[in-house]
Amino acid sequence: MPKRTDLKRILIVGSGPIVIGQACEFDYSGTQACKALRADGYEVVLINSNPATIMTDPELADRTYVEPLSVEFATEVIRRERPDALLSTVGGQTGLNLAVALAEAGVLEQYGVELIGAKVESIKKAEDRLLFKDAMRKIGLDTPQSQLVKDVDKGLEFAARIGYPLILRPSFTLGGSGGGIAYNREDLIDILERGLDLSPVHEVLIEESVLGWKEYELEVMRDLADNAIIVCSIENFDAMGVHTGDSITVAPVQTLTDREYQMMRDGALACLREIGVDTGGSNVQFAINPKDGRMVIVEMNPRVSRSSALASKATGFPIAKIAAKLAVGYRLDEIRNDITKVTPACFEPTIDYVVVKIPRWQFEKFPGAEPVLGTQMKSVGEVMSIGRTFQQALNKAIRSLETGKSLSAAAYDEKQIPQKLITPNPDRLNYIRFAFEKGYSVEEIHEMTAVDPWFLERVRDAVLLEQNLEGGTLDEATPERFRELKRAGISDNVIARAWKAEPLAVREARKNAGVAAVFNRVDSCAAEFESFTPYLYSTYEFACEADPSDRKKVMILGSGPNRIGQGIEFDYACCHASFALQDFGCESIMVNCNPETVSTDYDTSDRLYFEPLTLEEVLNIVDTEKPDGVIVQFGGQTPLNLALPLKHAGVPIIGTDPENIDLAEDRKLFGALLDSLNIPSPANGTATSVEEACEVATRLGYPVLVRPSYVLGGRAMVIAYDEDMVRRYMQEAVTFSVKRPVLIDRFLEDATEVDVDALADGEDVLIGGIMEHIEEAGVHSGDSSCVLPPFSIPEATLRTIEAYTVKLAKALNVIGLMNVQYAIKDGTVYVLEVNPRASRTVPYVSKATGVPLPKIAVGLMLGRKLKDFAHLTGGIVNGRLPVPQFFVKSPVFPFNKFPGVDPALGPEMRSTGEVMGVGENFGEAFAKAQLSAGTPLPDKGSIFISVNDRDKGAALEVARRFVELGFTLHATRGTASMFKAAGLACKTVFKVNEGRPNAVDLLKAASVQLVIYTTTGAHSFTDEKAIRRTAVFHRIPCITTMSGAKAAVEAISSRRRDPIRVWSLQEIHEKGAESKAKYNLVS
């Protein structure tokens, strides 16, 4: 069957903002789908609310809509575009759900749009857990006993029959939101109530527990002719009970005989056929009882998933790309294997290495959330590593995490071992290693963790190998010794620490001993056929397959695992750097270890090194490739940390000089620079003792912003309103020393914050965008909504900002991108910080202006000038880029994953993703952004307002507007009396501590649709927390700043006024006809 010719135009649905459980793996799948379909001559229309994605680049689709993924707006896109088909399977759960919703709303039928990939019936059969179980039993597959309940009593009945523990899973929630394990009656009632509430259909599946069983996943593909293959098998290191997204996983399976593996394979194929996924990739999860081999099927996802991204990177088999081709009618045997060129894609990849994935968590950013792992996914990112053995891969993966945690015994507490092993938690692997150091046996640890003894034994050997290093010295080391250590994946740093030597000295010594890294290829066929794709990983074997070219080449250092504050935006920049290099006739070499990303697609760069971003590994690649330049500007903090060491090792860093990047981070030097440029910044000082801190604070005047000068993970920044807050912070919150003082700034209250992204070539400075924040300074730039163009800042101030930006760019001799954050208070512009590198907002600005900032930046780093890019900037080489419409960027928060955490916003970033709203006026854009962010504003109903005295004036204005819009008001006593005094009708509500029914009851009773609640600053009282928590829990939008409240009014009036309308980026920027070739669309 060749491809279908009856389809011309295909709508692809993206997965929206990055949230826990749905990250940039869907940018990877969506991007592949766009490329594949266009390469086949189809017209692609794309809808995705996430501006930070590669897939939403105007060049990747014929028409790109950055619009809310709601039936309303998707329908409007369909009405305008009249696609022939909708591809539902590459946009994650969000894409799948929207497809189903559109089908059920009759929209697809009305406009004659065919659903390709998976049909609604199949999706339902797979997603509805009961239908699924029936289907599986029908084909003889075993599943855990279970029952679907709609109320708590039914749940208790089931528990009485089956006994505890029980697994609870709400229907149709993402990444297991609201699910959990009930060990007793209390848990059951607790989790069940929450689950019923969170499930859109108010159903929860209660299930027999198979905790402690081995967990497996198979990635399956099927074409219209019913040819089906297994792309990859994955075995979880963590047993059943820890979500696969939170589990350390290993590809391929390690502890199954062929008989058992084939049984699972048969099961997966039977499942796929029964569910009726007619084309594309699916993910099937199994559990096996380690005692007798009983196998149950856990679930199947009828779409590409996080695991299929992992499987694609692990095998070199591009699942999403092929899924897209199958969806338009190709057979698997009609598609070529890109890597071997001679063999077809209809085969089962076989690998000759081991792949390990480790998730990355950030509980530290959510005080109050218990750092334990269960059936609901909590991780914000992951790393993957490839090694010739499990040991080697595991050690590389641990390095890739960049947690900075030293893995030596010192860091852990022996008394905690049992508890840390029994209850799964982010630190468990480290505690397992620690336990081995302390002499625990494989059996003991298996007892406590249920981790398979085979894995444990390999971990133990690696730990012992490290322990035996102690007391050794560099000059005793033989070549055999070095090879043994490196083959086990032990880093030069670890060796150096044990042998009291410098890591670089260890490196020299082993290289002289003939032990240097070589590179093997990921080829999908275990070397049975020649590989034409330079997709490489380092090992300590004897033969190197890198064979570098002698072209002019530049290496890009990626951003490693996704984490809050460093996510997809930086991968976006890195990918563009790569595309740009290829445009400029330069070979692009990508280095990264994040399997979710587009940057680790072997198709993105000329050469891909899947490696940890450590000095050791990067130098290995430099030794082999000898690049003409290395780019550290695009990958966020990760490559910046390597910039100076690399420079000192003689590696040619291009773009802004690492010394200057550093200068911007250095308090004293940077302060001096600002003075010399006489650019104001908030008064500040440093302290190395509690007393000193209090003095400095008093000198600067309260409130002050306090933060450590050196941070691991969370930033631990607080706003202190008085001396004992400073004391408490110094005593409890931070570690500081003379070398690492605490930084104290005067905190600018009620200041407007502004983000600026600019390009500089040493002569000219071009301002990409001046972004006005909605929330005032004090809310982290990454956590506040912002708008392009600025809408309330006077032109004169904008010019000041422009002038400062130009001065700074020149002073720091920036070549490429620079980001500056300003705060405007009483007309004065203060600099908060300068980052001479690509920032989180680069993709957003690029999309709003239609000017590819990263591409130009690369040009500048290669020595070109802004003048040379006039054709891309509409002739502008300095000054400000124009913005044709209003573009609002809003953050998305994971609070629903961390019940009990206070969702109030502050100077520490906590959002995981962002969305963009486009409109002809600010209100329209803001309304769309809020809708996309999952916090839609109500268009009628009642509002609860409680504000501190500072905000009362502003609140009155806002309240009046709301009343005009027909809303009714509730308020706490103080606020209420003010409203009444001003002649506004308003119901008075008790504060939590004043009696019942109080504000919280009001929210629970769902009798308010919007909450406006500003903190009294100083101590955030328990009932403030309670109110915000309840709001989040019941999905009632909760606005914590007056500026936010004002914006909300604008948005709601726009909803009243403006029709549902959408714009494609191409029509906004009239750039539809950009060359496709450079985004290597020709496949």
Ligand X SMILES: Nc1ncnc2c1ncn2[C@@H]1O[C@H](COP(=O)(O)OP(=O)(O)O)[C@@H](O)[C@H]1O
Interface with ligand X (CB under 6 A):
144, 167, 175-176, 207-211, 215, 240-244, 285, 298-299, 375, 682, 705, 715, 745-748, 751, 753, 777-781, 821, 823, 832-833, 907
Instruction: Compute the distance between CA of residue 114 and CA of residue 85 in angstroms, rounded to an integer.
Output: 4
Which positions lie near Mg ion, rule CB under 5 A?
781, 821
Pick 289 or 942: Cβ nearer ligand X: 289
Instruction: Compute the distance between CA of residue 180 and CA of residue 347 in angstroms, rounded to an integer.
Output: 38
Instruction: Compute the distance between CA of residue 304 and CA of residue 279 in angstroms, rounded to an integer.
Output: 11
Instruction: Compute the distance between CA of residue 539 and CA of residue 590 in angstroms, rounded to an integer.
Output: 18
Sheet holding 987-989, edge to edge: 987-989, 968-972, 942-946, 1010-1013, 1038-1039
Pick 417 or 717: Cβ nearer Mg ion: 717
Cα three-residue angle 324-327-333, rounded to 5 degrees? 85
Q: How far is CA 798 from CA 368, 398, 607, 765, in A?
A: 41, 46, 43, 15
Under 8 Å between Cβ of 927 and 1054 = yes
Residue 347 binds which entry of another protein, Mg ion, ligand X, none, with Cβ cut-offs from 5 to 8 Å by kind? another protein
Least distance in Å: CB of 908 to ligand X? 7
Pick 224 or 711: Cβ nearer Mg ion: 711
Tokens coding 183: 């060990």
Say how many Å lie between the first and final Cα of the chain, rounded: 19
Residue 402 binds which entry of another protein, Mg ion, ligand X, none, with Cβ cut-offs from 5 to 8 Å by kind? none
Instruction: Compute the distance between CA of residue 188 and CA of residue 383 in angstroms, rounded to an integer.
Output: 34
Least distance in Å: CB of 93 to ligand X? 8
What phi and psi values does residue 939 have, to the nearest 5 degrees?
Answer: -105, -5
Pick 538 or 638: Cβ nearer Mg ion: 638
Least distance in Å: CB of 113 to ligand X? 27
Pick 307 or 932: Cβ nearer Mg ion: 307
Least distance in Å: CB of 751 to ligand X? 6
Residue 454 binds which entry of Mg ion, ligand X, another protein, none, with Cβ cut-offs from 5 to 8 Å by kind? another protein
Q: DSSP class of residue 224?
A: T
Q: Which of 945, 936, 938 is nearest to 1014 (CA)?
A: 945
Least distance in Å: CB of 294 to another protein? 5
Query: Which amino acid, 638?
Result: T
- Strands 43-47 and 9-13 come out as parallel
- 1013 - beta bridge partners? 946
How many C-beta atoms surround the C-beta of residue 783 within 10 A?
Answer: 21
- Strands 85-87 and 114-116 come out as parallel
Residue 753 binds which entry of another protein, ligand X, Mg ion, none, with Cβ cut-offs from 5 to 8 Å by kind? ligand X
Pick 174 or 314: Cβ nearer Mg ion: 174
Instruction: Compute the distance between CA of residue 557 and CA of residue 609 in angstroms, rounded to an integer.
Output: 10
Least distance in Å: CB of 212 to another protein? 14
Residue 175 binds which entry of Mg ion, ligand X, another protein, none, with Cβ cut-offs from 5 to 8 Å by kind? ligand X
Pick 73 or 390: Cβ nearer another protein: 390
Least distance in Å: CB of 532 to ligand X? 36
Residue 676 binds which entry of another protein, Mg ion, ligand X, none, with Cβ cut-offs from 5 to 8 Å by kind? none
Pick 258 or 826: Cβ nearer another protein: 258
* 3-class DSSP state of 873: helix
Under 8 Å between Cβ of 902 and 368 = yes
Instruction: Compute the distance between CA of residue 438 and CA of residue 91 in angstroms, rounded to an integer.
Output: 46
Least distance in Å: CB of 207 to ligand X? 4
How many C-beta atoms surround the C-beta of residue 438 within 10 A?
Answer: 12
Pick 397 or 1010: Cβ nearer another protein: 397
Least distance in Å: CB of 173 to ligand X? 8
- 913 - beta bridge partners? 892
Least distance in Å: CB of 798 to ligand X? 19
Pick 664 or 759: Cβ nearer Mg ion: 664
Q: How far is CA 351 from CA 105, 268, 311, 520, 544, in A?
A: 45, 20, 11, 12, 17
Pick 340 or 403: Cβ nearer another protein: 340
Position of minimal CB gap to Mg ion: 781
Residue 350 binds which entry of ligand X, Mg ion, another protein, none, with Cβ cut-offs from 5 to 8 Å by kind? another protein
Residue 133 binds which entry of ligand X, another protein, Mg ion, none, with Cβ cut-offs from 5 to 8 Å by kind? none
Least distance in Å: CB of 892 to ligand X? 17
Q: How far is CA 533 from CA 321, 505, 606, 713, in A?
A: 16, 34, 9, 36
Residue 210 binds which entry of Mg ion, another protein, ligand X, none, with Cβ cut-offs from 5 to 8 Å by kind? ligand X
Residue 180 binds which entry of ligand X, Mg ion, another protein, none, with Cβ cut-offs from 5 to 8 Å by kind? none
Residue 747 binds which entry of ligand X, Mg ion, another protein, none, with Cβ cut-offs from 5 to 8 Å by kind? ligand X
Q: Which of 569, 566, 635, 571 is nearest to 598 (CA)?
A: 571
Pick 207 or 523: Cβ nearer ligand X: 207
Q: Which of 201, 13, 9 is nearest to 99 (CA)?
A: 13
- Strands 765-776 and 879-880 come out as parallel
Least distance in Å: CB of 357 to another protein? 17
Pick 218 or 945: Cβ nearer another protein: 218
Residues constituting the chain: 1083
Least distance in Å: CB of 344 to another protein? 5
Pick 38 or 446: Cβ nearer ligand X: 446
Place of tokens 């909504």: 785
Residue 388 binds which entry of Mg ion, another protein, ligand X, none, with Cβ cut-offs from 5 to 8 Å by kind? another protein
Residue 6 binds which entry of another protein, Mg ion, ligand X, none, with Cβ cut-offs from 5 to 8 Å by kind? none
Instruction: Compute the distance between CA of residue 690 and CA of residue 744 in angstroms, rounded to an integer.
Output: 12
Least distance in Å: CB of 336 to another protein? 11
Which positions lie near another protein, rule CB under 8 A?
140-142, 225-227, 229, 233, 252-263, 265-267, 270, 288, 290-296, 331-333, 342-344, 346-354, 388-390, 452-454, 457, 487, 520, 525-530, 541-543, 545
Least distance in Å: CB of 773 to ligand X? 7
DSSP characters over 994-1056:
G-SSBHHHHHHTT--SEEEE---SSS--HHHHHHHHHHHHTT--EE-SHHHHHHHHHHHHHHH
Pick 179 or 329: Cβ nearer ligand X: 179
Residue 705 binds which entry of Mg ion, another protein, ligand X, none, with Cβ cut-offs from 5 to 8 Å by kind? ligand X
- Strands 1010-1013 and 942-946 come out as parallel
Residue 330 binds which entry of another protein, Mg ion, ligand X, none, with Cβ cut-offs from 5 to 8 Å by kind? none
